[in-house]
Structure 1
Amino acid sequence: MNMMTLWHISGWEFAALALAALLVGFSKTAVSGANTISLAVFAAILPARASTGILLPLLIAGDVLAVLTYRRHAHWPTLWRLFPAVAVGVVIGTLFLMWADDGIVRTSIGAILLLMTGVTLWRRRRESEGADDAPDAVTTSAGRLKARSYGVLGGFTTMVANAGGPVMSMYLLSAGFRKLGFLGTSAFFFLIVNVSKVPFSAALGLIDTRSLLLDATLVLFVAPGALLGRWAVHRINQRLFDRLVIAATVVGGLQLLVG
């Protein structure tokens, strides 16, 4: 893969990448799934395939900060129920990336963003009040099928486009998680899943020394975003921010599809 494009980034493009990195940190500690905007920015400025590998270490940095913030609120039975299906989705996503060229990946990212926006809107129409901070494990056949379905889709979307956030958000909310349980469980989920993706991304050539040098610069913006999210999580007007995130995601997805 030709990575030389990384060294021809203009000042405005770097500023946009830095803002997207800050949003990564913010999304990990405040509004899960908001980093779909970051995904659109990275894929619009950088080669689409390269963007997924460059964004991955930044997501891991944000995951570490989220785990440090919400580690006491994770619900491990839910995590263990999801991981096997997620592994299947990651393998499927890896095979897809081995076959797809940059144009197909770019179009796929745009389509995934629009699909996840539709999923999010559908979920909000059906959303009911949450249950406890840490719900009991679902042991029914329907519950296991639901976990497997979301797990495979989440694994595929997170491998292909780092866009598993909306899928997992819908699953956790439908399982009855409230804010802190949601953030704690998703923090551990994405830290483990994103770290497990590193060998696959490296084998595909999506992570190399040059991409990590860019990450070393951009990661400086993740921590301030995480701190901002931690401060804002109890103060933010969630409804307004969600609408802005959805609008920005739609714009980003359309740009990738027609670009």
Structure 2
Amino acid sequence: MDTITLWAFVALAAAATLVGFSKSAVSGANTVSLAIFAAVLPARESTGVLLPLLIVGDVFAVYSYRRHADWATLIRLFPAVAAGVVAGTVFMLWADDTAVRTSIGAILLFMTGVTLWRRRAARKADEAGKAEKAGEGRGSARLKAGSYGVLGGFTTMVANAGGPVMSMYLLSAGFRKLGFLGTSAWFFLIVNVAKVPFSVGLGLIDRDSLLLDAALVLFVIPGAFLGRAVVDRINQRLFERLVIAATVVGGAQLLLR
């Protein structure tokens, strides 16, 4: 706290507000928060500071959409996600700040590519109807859940960036709006809470990080309420384009820093 300048705190506060907003309105906006935290703070420690704020946002999301979760999907995903979290923890054991900063930048750019691919695939799926989904076998569905789960667990442990991966999986599984929001809310609350012991063990969450969280959580809450208030009024296409552009800039900045 003593080494953070006023302008750095303002940037973190804006990013914390965006965390709350993303949890209740547009989940893709959270990637901008990741880039800001990793740019202002040491990249490795930024993941530990951000995690409790994400959990606060998850609580608001679960409260809003708690009745719309598909638990069969969650249970199918969790074993693979756990494997991905363990793999991410092993990576964090040896990764220094430079490696983590580079990894976060690469993951953000990769997730942006995934998001763009997902949107293109979704448009093609709408045009082709549900024939492909109907022909998907049980084994193929398990393989898809496993691959998405491992990648989601790894990216959420290393960079708190599992959102685009899980969004792509849930959309490809045919979830409608409320089912998507409810399943995603419960998924991230459970996974993020499960990550806390790993982050504590890695030294990413400690007394200093929690003091900073105590100051920043005051900005997450109004962000969540703001998201709920404006979610139906947002020009989704323009907002997603701005988020994608900001994420690319943030990811590139981390790679070139």
Partner SS, residue 29 of structure 2: coil
Q: How far, CA to CA, are the matches of 1:97 and 1:9 in structure 2?
A: 24
Partner amino acid for 2:3? H
Equivalence for 2:145: 147
- Calculate percent identity across the aligned residue pairs: 76
1:80-126 deviation per Cα after TM superposition (whole angstroms, max 9, x unaligned): 11000000000000000001111000000000000000000011111
Q: How far, CA to CA, are the matches of 1:76 and 1:91 in structure 2?
A: 22
| TM-score, length basis structure 1 | 0.93
Deviation at 1:71, TM superposition (A): 0.6
Equivalence for 2:84: 89
Deviation at 1:139, TM superposition (A): 6.7
Partner SS, residue 33 of structure 1: helix
Equivalence for 1:226: 224
Equivalence for 1:74: 69
Q: How far, CA to CA, are the matches of 1:195 and 1:126 in structure 2?
A: 32
Equivalence for 1:3: none
**1:110 and 2:105 aligned:** yes
Deviation at 1:7, TM superposition (A): 2.4
Q: How far, CA to CA, are the matches of 1:23 and 1:222 in structure 2?
A: 7
Equivalence for 1:30: 25
Equivalence for 1:15: 10
Q: How far, CA to CA, are the matches of 1:232 and 1:252 in structure 2?
A: 25
Unmatched 5+ stretches in structure 1: 1-5
Aligned residue pair count: 250
When you count helix as a share of all residues, which structure comes out higher? 2
Q: How far, CA to CA, are the matches of 2:25 and 2:5 in structure 1?
A: 30
Partner amino acid for 1:110? G
Which residue of the other structure, out of 175, 178, 198, is the alignment partner of 2:176? 178
Unmatched 5+ stretches in structure 2: none
Q: How far, CA to CA, are the matches of 1:197 and 1:49 in structure 2?
A: 15
| TM-score, length basis structure 2 | 0.94
Which residue of the other structure, out of 45, 50, 63, is the alignment partner of 2:45? 50
8 Å contact kept, 1:21–1:38: yes
Equivalence for 1:122: 117
Q: 4+ runs of 1 displaced by more than 6 Å? A: none
Q: How far, CA to CA, are the matches of 1:215 and 1:111 in structure 2?
A: 26
8 Å contact kept, 1:32–1:183: no
Equivalence for 2:214: 216
1:150-207 deviation per Cα after TM superposition (whole angstroms, max 9, x unaligned): 0000000000000000100111111111222111111000000000000000000000
Q: How far, CA to CA, are the matches of 2:108 and 2:179 in structure 1?
A: 25
Partner amino acid for 2:191? V
Equivalence for 1:101: 96
How large is the RMSD of aligned CA atoms in angstroms?
1.7
Q: Cα 1:61–1:139, aligned 2, differ >3 Å: closer, same or farther?
A: farther
User: Aligned runs of 1:56-67 on 2, under 5 Å?
Assistant: 56-67=51-62
**1:194 and 2:192 aligned:** yes
Deviation at 1:34, TM superposition (A): 1.5
Q: How far, CA to CA, are the matches of 1:41 and 1:180 in structure 2?
A: 29
Q: How far, CA to CA, are the matches of 2:84 and 2:112 in structure 1?
A: 20
Q: How far, CA to CA, are the matches of 1:230 and 1:160 in structure 2?
A: 29
